[in-house]
């Protein structure tokens, strides 16, 4: 990291050591319902957290200090001011990176906590995978009466998110690659254009085949006709492509600005052959083997002329 | 609890990262940041989806340790650092190794990997009473 400190950093550095909370009271006493909700959410069945002599899960420490939706009244300005300065400098995004908690004694239902918090440090400007920004570390001391019961050190990165060049909100939807049509598969794509999914059938041995090929894999016969698929099928297998991002394939209402992951399905048609296609109507992470799907045709507009692609929609939409 | 030795590996714990877990964990920790419950706003902030908040991860790391060492174990310190986010649909696998054991207090190195990388690394200090009592 360079030794050159920008002017912003100098002003941020001035916040080090400033209190962000002094003797502030928790909104609720430590209580059984909040403990139970926490344990339910996290699947924590530790018997120490219920019953007559219950303690609160120690990792709930910060939860007792949170302002929630209504926030804290009489909030100290220092932290807000610091965050506002960073916002103004373009560091509008925030992510928590570190949490270090020390527990001096367990909290029990009925304990009423108070806490003090201080801005411990502001880092140099750092460039991370998320963007460029500053790490801000705060330390909180939690007390019951005069007794220190725990400390909580918390680090956030306040950063300017990287601009994703191909996915600016105004960018047009990335064009879908056109199918490659040749003499062997031309009949298939002519069918798709007319919203018919045609499977090749060997006239010698009646074996169905897909994708389209010059000859029969079963008997070697070169003559064929076609059978139209009913359009019913199931997901035989699938993969989810996370990287590299490919906006043209993203199956999302925001496909223009989200080059997120997408699912590639291997669909087994009711007729028995399998084909690779998109599974639509569910998020990529809800695609599962065995999902029933139904054929649908989508027209894609393209500078080179529109074209149609077959896709498969999950029955009933949401799963 | 049997005896604890330096170098012991804890059995892995697999956690399905459901949308429900992310939202329920955020609300149980009273964290109403939109990126933990509102996919639309999360995307506007440059994230592909909502993601787990650090307090839920912290709680799961604590749970992993007390699940293993039992209800008499007392957490002394939990220190974690986050890496790749926990997005819905992923699975996180927590693993742990006892780095130090001094008679009743163990220091456990915990790692949580998800489908896209290392979500969390951390160190937990836990007191395990009654060591060797049975």
Which residue has 């344990």 as its token pair?
A39
* ipTM for the complex shown: 0.95
Mean pLDDT split into 10-residue runs, chain B, 134 residues: 84 97 98 94 87 97 97 96 95 96 94 95 92 45
Q: Do the domain assignments include residue A89?
A: yes
Rounded Cα gap, residues A145 and A118, in angstroms: 19
Residue B75 has what pLDDT?
97
Q: Do the domain assignments include residue A210?
A: no
Q: Do the domain assignments include residue A133?
A: yes
Tokens read off for B87: 């997005």
State how far residue A40 is from chain B, nearest Cα, in angstroms: 9
pLDDT in tens, A169-204: 344 556 788 888 898 999 999 999 989 999 999 999
B28–A63: do the CB atoms touch at under 8 Å? yes
Q: Do the domain assignments include residue A16?
A: yes
pLDDT in tens, A16-47: 999 988 999 999 999 999 999 999 999 999 99
Structural domain boundaries of chain B?
A: 9-127
Residue A250 has what pLDDT?
66
Residue B29 has what pLDDT?
97
Chain B residues at the A interface, defined by Cβ less than 8 Å, are 15, 21, 24-25, 27-32, 43, 45-46, 48-49, 53-56, 58-63, 66-67, 71-72, 74-82, 87-90, 115-116
Q: State the alpha helices, DSSP H only, in chain B.
A: 19-28, 39-44, 54-69
Q: Do the domain assignments include residue A209?
A: no
Tokens read off for B110: 């915990």
Contacts of A108 in chain B (CB under 8 A): none
Nearest Cα residue to B80 out of A154, A98, A101, A152: A98
Residue A251 has what pLDDT?
57
B54–A106: do the CB atoms touch at under 8 Å? no
Residue B108 has what pLDDT?
98
List the domain range (segments joined by +) for residue A95: 7-162
> Does residue A15 sit in the same domain as residue A138?
yes
- List the single residue in B62, B72, B81 with the smallest CB-CB distance to A97: B81
> Does residue A37 sit in the same domain as residue A128?
yes
Mean pLDDT split into 10-residue runs, chain A, 319 residues: 63 90 93 98 97 96 93 75 89 92 97 96 89 94 97 94 50 73 91 93 94 93 94 94 76 49 91 92 87 90 82 71
Q: Do the domain assignments include residue A199?
A: no
Fold that domain B9-127 belongs to in CATH: Thiol Ester Dehydrase; Chain A (3.10.129)
CA distances from B91 to A162, B16, B85, B88, B112 (A): 27, 5, 11, 8, 10
Q: Do the domain assignments include residue A175?
A: no
- List the single residue in B24, B77, B89 with the smallest CB-CB distance to A41: B24
> Does residue A155 sit in the same domain as residue A29?
yes
What CATH number is given to the structural domain containing A251? Answer: 2.40.50
> Does residue A282 sit in the same domain as residue A156?
no
Contact B114, B82 (CB under 8 A): no
Substitution target from A26, A27, A37, A43 for chain B, most B beta carbons within 10 A: A43
> Does residue A157 sit in the same domain as residue A14?
yes
Phi, psi of A24 (to 5 degrees): -80, 145
Q: Do the domain assignments include residue A202?
A: no
> Does residue A156 sit in the same domain as residue A46?
yes
> Does residue A20 sit in the same domain as residue A134?
yes
Phi, psi of A172 (to 5 degrees): -70, 155
Q: How many separate domains does chain A show?
A: 2
Contacts of A257 in chain B (CB under 8 A): 43
Contacts of A161 in chain B (CB under 8 A): 45-46
A260–B49: do the CB atoms touch at under 8 Å? yes
Contact A128, A159 (CB under 8 A): yes
What CATH number is given to the structural domain containing A88? Answer: 3.10.129.10
């Amino acid at each position: 990291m360079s030794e050159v400190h920008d002017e912003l950093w100098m002003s941020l550095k001035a916040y080090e050591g400033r209190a962000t909370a002094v003797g502030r009271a928790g909104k609720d006493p430590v209580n059984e319902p909040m403990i139970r909700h926490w344990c339910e959410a996290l699947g924590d069945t530790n018997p120490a957290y219920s019953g007559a002599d219950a303690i609160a899960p120690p990792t709930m420490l910060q939860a007792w200090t949170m302002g929630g939706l209504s926030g804290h009244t009489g909030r100290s300005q220092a932290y807000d001011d610091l965050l506002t300065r960073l916002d103004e400098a373009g560091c509008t995004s925030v992510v928590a990176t570190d949490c270090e908690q020390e527990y001096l004694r367990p909290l029990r239902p009925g304990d009423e906590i108070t806490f003090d918090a201080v801005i411990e440090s502001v880092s140099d400007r750092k460039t991370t995978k998320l963007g460029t920004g500053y790490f801000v570390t705060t330390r909180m001391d939690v007390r019951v009466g005069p007794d220190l019961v725990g400390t909580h050190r918390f680090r956030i990165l306040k950063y300017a998110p990287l601009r994703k060049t191909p996915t600016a909100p105004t960018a047009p939807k990335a064009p879908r690659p056109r199918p490659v049509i040749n003499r062997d598969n031309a009949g298939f794509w002519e069918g798709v254009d007319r919203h018919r999914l045609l499977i090749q059938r060997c006239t010698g041995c009646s074996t169905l085949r897909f994708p389209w090929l010059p000859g029969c894999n079963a008997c070697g016969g070169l003559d064929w006709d076609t059978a139209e698929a009913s359009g019913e099928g199931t997901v035989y297998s699938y993969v989810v492509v996370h990287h590299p991002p490919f906006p043209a394939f993203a199956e999302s209402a925001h496909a223009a600005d989200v080059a997120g992951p997408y699912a590639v399905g291997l669909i087994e048609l009711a007729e028995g052959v399998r084909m690779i296609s998109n599974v639509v109507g569910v998020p990529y992470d809800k695609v599962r083997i065995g999902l029933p799907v139904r054929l649908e045709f989508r027209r894609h507009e393209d500078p080179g002329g529109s074209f149609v692609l077959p896709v498969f929609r999950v029955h009933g939409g949401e799963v | 609890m049997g005896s604890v030795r330096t170098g012991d590996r804890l059995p892995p714990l697999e956690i399905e990262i459901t949308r429900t877990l992310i939202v329920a964990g955020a609300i149980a920790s009273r964290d109403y940041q939109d990126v933990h419950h509102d996919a639309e706003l999360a995307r506007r902030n440059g994230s592909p989806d909502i993601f787990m908040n650090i307090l839920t991860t912290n709680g799961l790391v604590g749970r992993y340790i007390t699940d293993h060492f039992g209800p008499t174990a007392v957490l002394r310190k939990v220190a974690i650092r986050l890496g790749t986010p926990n997005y819905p649909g992923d699975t996180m696998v927590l693993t742990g190794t006892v780095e130090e054991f001094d008679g009743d207090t163990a220091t456990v190195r915990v790692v949580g990997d998800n489908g896209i990388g290392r979500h969390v690394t951390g160190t937990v200090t836990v007191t395990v009473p009654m060591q060797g009592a049975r």
